[in-house]
Structure 1
Amino acid sequence: MANKLEAFYGLPQEVKFCKKCIISNQRPSSTVEFKNSKDLKKEVINFDENDVCSACSYHEEKEKQVDWSEREKNLEELLSRFRRTDGRYDVIIPGSGGKDSAFTAHILKYKYGMNPLTVTWSPHLYTDIGWKNMQEWMHTGGLDNMLYTPNGKLHRLLTKLSFENMLHPFQPFIVGQKIIGPMMAQKFGVKLVMYGENQAEYGNKVDQNTHSVMNPEFFSITDPLEMQFGGVSMKEIIDNYEFTINDFTPYIPPKLDTLVDAGVEMHYLGYYLQWDPQECYYYAVENTGFTANTERTEGSYSKYSSLDDKIDTFHYFTTLIKFGIGRATYDASQEVRNDKITREEAAYLVKKYDTEFPKKYFKEFLDYVSITEEKFWEIVDRHRSPHIWKNVDGEWKLRHTANNDGTDD
């Protein structure tokens, strides 16, 4: 019966769960689209013949096949090509001051002798703990930072369009996150941009794990006016709202040939150093004043990941609606791979927390995107894929969970 149900977004009709972690085969392998509609064909995480996901396979490969001492030598060789001793910055590190960017910036400065400039694309709405950790990043971690805040009026509109049309309120934010590093590298004449871990480690395109360099495809946009935000082109937004192309300056990626000509390289530190998010957390606590939240994050059991933005919980809630994968699934799958918890423990945590609605900042989210609660639920329910969700006596329930490995209906 389930195989006959319509699957939105080009997702696989048969829902499977990884036999090692608990991620499902519905997880998209890319995070930014400039297209629209529930008919959008998505690439999803790969499963092998044993129903093991590519993220778990890659983690096992890292554990058994990668020579990490050799990788660190490669890192030192890379850094030596860019290191400066004349007072100028020599590496740009995009981040929010969370555990991963805190680790990246601090270790590059204090262990490897680099002179980093950290750059931050501002969250939609800072949380108290997010702002505190952001400040500690500089004042305790001893780092320089530039906080870049885009046109708030435009950013609200783009977020609203992305939520209404794609159920993807983070789309404009992700665009900014990707652009801010290379953009500031150009501004300051820095030739190295260093990110933390590659999202390929969690299930994005697996071939990205074979090298340290960021996929340049994002910087190959030829006509900015054709870029789409929430399925609406930049040209349409300019024609229908009181904005000009100049207002979109922060969202227009630097051209790839310009970056190449300037000698700018974009690398992932997680390629060179064995990456463990929980160990990054311990390092950040000890060295940069990072603190976990006093309460767990809604939709998960975690207290130390993605704490800075009040909209963040709604990003994960929308992935739950579209793909049946909530925040607890992402957190628990990662911790299974890093041997922090067992698969059975992960399944329990997901059952308990994954479908929890993020109530804490709900009113602020509605105000930010200027919609009513009734409109919110209309948009959410419109994006539920029939092969993932069923309505039982007026209550929406997932058809498949990791606890039953896809045998429920």
Structure 2
Amino acid sequence: MSETEALEAFYGLPNEVRFCKSCVISNQRPSSTVEFKHEKEDKKKTIGFAADGICDACHYHQEKAHRIDWKKREDQLVATLDKFRRNDGSYDMIVPGSGGKDSAYTSHILKYRYGMNPLTVTWAPHLYTDIGWQNFTNWIHEGGHDNILFTPNGRLHRLLTRLAFKNLLHPFQPFIVGQRIIGPAMAQKYGVQLVMYGENQAEYGNDPNENFKPTMDTKFFSAQDPMQMRLGGVKIADIIRDYDYTLNDFAPYIPPTAESLEKAGVEVHYLGFYLPWDPQECYYYAVENTGFQANSERTPGTYSKYSSIDDKIDMFHYFTTLIKFGIGRATYDSAQEVRNGKINREEAVHLVRKYDQEFPQRYYADFLDYIGLSDAEFWETVDQFRSPHLWQHSDNGWALRHVVE
């Protein structure tokens, strides 16, 4: 047994760290984006690697490039849209989003190329950045959309974010839950039967089987006792017991059931199934058609200026993925750009090694204030989540045992 294999791996991660031979993602990337518990026996699935050493996401992109008939897929899109199209002036679809490049592209192309009448809905960021708020308003005013901006109970959301950071090192978990719920929930509320998200996360390494169907897996909406639902790693019943809240306060986080969605005729689709999805091309389209603007400076932890720039907390989400899985934001960005032919692997390796471990200092004070932690408490929490098979400590501090080459 090698030294690495003998080291404990948290979260059910593979002990042996491997990097994709085509892009730069590692086999430590989780295939779930909602919750990872800090329990060593909690086995969680990670991105798959084939015998050739290439990850599932890269293999699917080869499928996209060479084996999918995109004209046939677009015909399927038109047929789906026609099924739900209304001619009485009412909304015929819901498009969830923040006004970032992806949702700006999705809503605009559906309305102006395919003639739909979408209602855009937004689960508010924790803390808007200046450029994020500007792009959100441009999306509505220049892109030309109706919008509902839903902002959850701020006091509760801060608590849930704090709990998620402390218990899961996943400060985005409550936001991700709300973001996924907002589309179907608003569809039910307004009697709309079609919800269209942009890309399926399976494109980037979640369950690859989901790439081959246009609709969202309804297991997320399976019926459950709301009091037993976990937010921030804690049961709602326990949060109600320990803090001054009632079950009613949690209504925005409790998903509609698959049965209720089926009864209402609601279907949740991904535009990326029907049209070839390329984040950089979405950016160009959004700039040209909705007034979207990149940031004036790159995002800490990566080289990009235009991805996920609306929330001050967002960069800490990627920092925590670095801590838990050894994968930072530059890895995610450069891996998808290799797959889409924007850069080559050698360039990606350089970018990862230069930026991936950069600490997001820019909004650090805002983040600490938001979740009510001191600098010392922040680092004490972070260090508890470093898996021994990924990190080693010396007099010079913490360092990753494995970096992409």
Structure 2 counterpart of 1:209, which letter?
Answer: N
What's the secondary structure of 1:387's corresponding residue? coil
Map 1:128-167 to 2 at 5 A.
128-167=130-169
Structure 2 gaps of 5+ residues are none
Alignment partner, residue 271 of structure 1: 273
TM-score for the superposition, normalised by structure 2:
0.98
The match for 2:341 among 326, 339, 342 is 339
Distance 1:231 1:185 in 2: 28
Whether contact under 8 Å (2:97, 2:121) holds in the other structure is yes
Map 1:153-232 to 2 at 5 A.
153-232=155-234
What's the secondary structure of 1:367's corresponding residue? helix
Whether contact under 8 Å (1:35, 1:230) holds in the other structure is no
Greater Cα shift, 300-309 or 34-43: 34-43
Whether contact under 8 Å (1:37, 1:166) holds in the other structure is no
Distance 1:102 1:148 in 2: 17
Superposed CA deviations along residues 141-192 of structure 1, whole A, max 9, x for unmatched, are 0111100000001000000000001100000000000100000001110000
- The CA RMSD over aligned residues, in Å, is 0.9
Alignment partner, residue 330 of structure 1: 332
The match for 1:363 among 349, 362, 365 is 365
Structure 2 counterpart of 1:277, which letter?
Answer: P
Alignment partner, residue 264 of structure 2: 262
Whether contact under 8 Å (1:130, 1:307) holds in the other structure is yes
Superposed CA deviations along residues 74-111 of structure 1, whole A, max 9, x for unmatched, are 00000000011111000100000000000000000000
Q: Give 1:40 deviation, angstroms.
A: 2.7
Greater Cα shift, 334-343 or 224-233: 224-233
Distance 1:38 1:116 in 2: 44
Superposed CA deviations along residues 232-287 of structure 1, whole A, max 9, x for unmatched, are 10000001100000000100001110100111000000000011110000000000
TM-score for the superposition, normalised by structure 1:
0.97
Whether contact under 8 Å (1:36, 1:230) holds in the other structure is no
Matched, 1:63 2:86: no
Superposed CA deviations along residues 21-67 of structure 1, whole A, max 9, x for unmatched, are 00000000011138553543211000000110000000000101000
Distance 2:336 2:160 in 1: 30
Alignment partner, residue 356 of structure 2: 354
Alignment partner, residue 407 of structure 1: none
Distance 2:139 2:84 in 1: 23
When the two structures are aligned, how many residues end up with a matched partner? 403
Structure 2 counterpart of 1:214, which letter?
Answer: M
Whether contact under 8 Å (1:75, 1:272) holds in the other structure is yes
Distance 1:112 1:38 in 2: 48
Q: Give 1:291 deviation, angstroms.
A: 0.3
Distance 1:34 1:357 in 2: 22
Q: Aligned in 2, Cα 1:201/1:282: closer, same or farther, shift over 3 Å? A: same
Matched, 1:302 2:304: yes
Whether contact under 8 Å (2:11, 2:37) holds in the other structure is no
Greater Cα shift, 200-209 or 216-225: 216-225
Alignment partner, residue 406 of structure 1: none
Whether contact under 8 Å (1:194, 1:266) holds in the other structure is yes
Structure 2 counterpart of 1:255, which letter?
Answer: T
Distance 1:212 1:33 in 2: 24
Distance 1:255 1:398 in 2: 42
What's the secondary structure of 1:147's corresponding residue? strand
Map 1:26-175 to 2 at 5 A.
26-33=28-35, 35=37, 37-175=39-177
Structure 1 gaps of 5+ residues are 404-409
What's the secondary structure of 1:141's corresponding residue? coil
The match for 1:19 among 18, 21, 24 is 21
Whether contact under 8 Å (1:34, 1:230) holds in the other structure is no
> Structure 1 runs of 4+ off > 2 angstroms?
33-40
The match for 1:285 among 275, 284, 287 is 287
Structure 2 counterpart of 1:153, which letter?
Answer: R
Distance 1:348 1:102 in 2: 30
